[in-house]
Structure 1
Amino acid sequence: MKKRIQFSKAFVPAAILSFVVIVVGIINICTRGINFSIDFKPGYIEEVKISSNPSVEDVRAALSGVSGVAVKMVGTGEALAYQIRVGEDKSNEAIIDTINAALEKAYPDGSVTVLKTDFIGNQLSHSLAFQSVLLLVGTMLCIWIYSSIRFRWDFALGAIIALIHDSLIMFSFLAIFQVEFSTTSIAAVLTIIGYSINDTVVILDRVRENIQTLEVKNFKEVIDQSLSDTLSRSIITTVTTLFAVVSLYVFTSGTIHDFAWALIIGLLSGCYSSVFISSGFISFVRKNWKPEFGLHAFTKPEPKTDF
């Protein structure tokens, strides 16, 4: 007999814990708001080329006297440039003059060339935020359709609830710790959605297999056995991925550092939700499941033949 851990006993406490964390996150969002980066704020974007090709950290240091500035590299080789963004509620070209003066002071002798300057208004920044939310919803909808085709409706809904849980947990931690939310954070959320659904599908595949082969009294036993069978895989996959993500968190800075921080939270939440949230919901929906019907839960019954 394979070892069976009683995961089902922790379903309710895990749901309560998640509920508390999400409520605390929502309260922080309502009271303190989300620390949006200038990706979602009106302001200026300027691209400059510097002949000496300094590191992005050096450019940030040169602009340290200008508040609310974000710098990142764009392009490679001869096309290498620096994109400078600064939040500004209304058009104010003086801020661009301040940025250019700081760059010319740090890199004299005409080594700084301004490639382009644009102003992003409120409407465009709000449109970007709306498109980001639409992207998340569209991704989850596609995953729900896929899960519904591959499994039954309750399995698909359990998987989607786990993904919504992971997204809310990440937003809660971003709000609680006031970590800057940028387009990189959107990439982190989408990465975790893909990671979490993969982990959930592996568990659901084992549940589907065990439904047809295990001799059990109730559906909780099927869930417990399936989670026990896949536990080592879930832990090993999460831990090995965390090695790389923690390295990014420790040895990088700026947006990559925040990206790695969000991934760490998401990886832990994804593993946790696949085991407790998704499985707990499916177990609740199938609480009246009877073993004698388990053999045909996912297959068509053979037609009876009278002799």
Structure 2
Amino acid sequence: MTGPTDGPADGPTDGPARARLTSYEHDGLTFDVADEGPIDGDVVVLLHGFPERASCWRLVAPLLHAQGYRTIAPDQRGYSPGARPTRRRDYTLGRLVGDVAALIGLTGGPVHLVGHDWGAAVGWATVAEHPDLVRTWTAVSVPHPRAFLRSWVSSTQGLKSSYMLLFNVPRLPELLQRRAPRRFEASLRRAGMTSDDVARFRSEIAADGALPGGLAWYRAMFLRGDALERPRITRPTTMVWSDGDVALGRKGIDLTPDWVDAPYELVVLEGVSHWIPTQAPGALAEAILERVTSA
């Protein structure tokens, strides 16, 4: 643990670490962390997606704090300035899961885990591979990976995900963002981002140099060995999906319960775009709280 602001350096092993985390180290990288809320509260780890950072939880976290929960939200691999390796193989699913597992280990775990977008994909894998580290799991927008893959051949999901092919073209998206930023940002607006969301992307991702690292998650998707080895989910799970999501269709959501061997609930938010944490923070916090209190 690096950067504690109070309490012992290592914290107890049987509950939440009683020291604030400002950063942590894993795999030779340094990750920035937003650690907020009651220091002695049960820990909720919040995993952001693309193209966002831990700040996407800024409206959700206070609602959890008000109910006594401590939130820990990392800037993940490729986003934290100290955690931006350049090789594609440094962004495989196993490495991303390893980053999350290392963070949970510092809290004294197990924790309540929440993930949006790519954070949900990593969260599904973390729960499957390390169920001992997780008490409850709330996935936001992205279904179980096996359900997602099945939806490609049984719905329009493949068409909705066609942008992933563009993201896999080396240097092209980065070049587009630099030379035609308005066109790049227009695609985010079409996906439902508000002006505030786009401004955050402009400052936290584009200007800060985090875009190549975020794109690297897509570019490592098809590397050998980047599959979910143990797909069954054995922790209480809530799936939160919005019907205004242009990137994730309903089919994968409906297939997700097939992979969950635990209490499961689907929460559908009507009239909300893909960016649930910033556009429906109250409804999302309610779903998270209902799941964590069930444990």
Q: TM-score, normalised by structure 2?
A: 0.23
Structure with a larger share of its residues in helix: 1
Q: Kindly indicate whether structure 1 or structure 2 has the higher relative contact order, using CA contacts under 8 Å at least 6 residues apart.
A: 1
Q: TM-score, normalised by structure 1?
A: 0.22
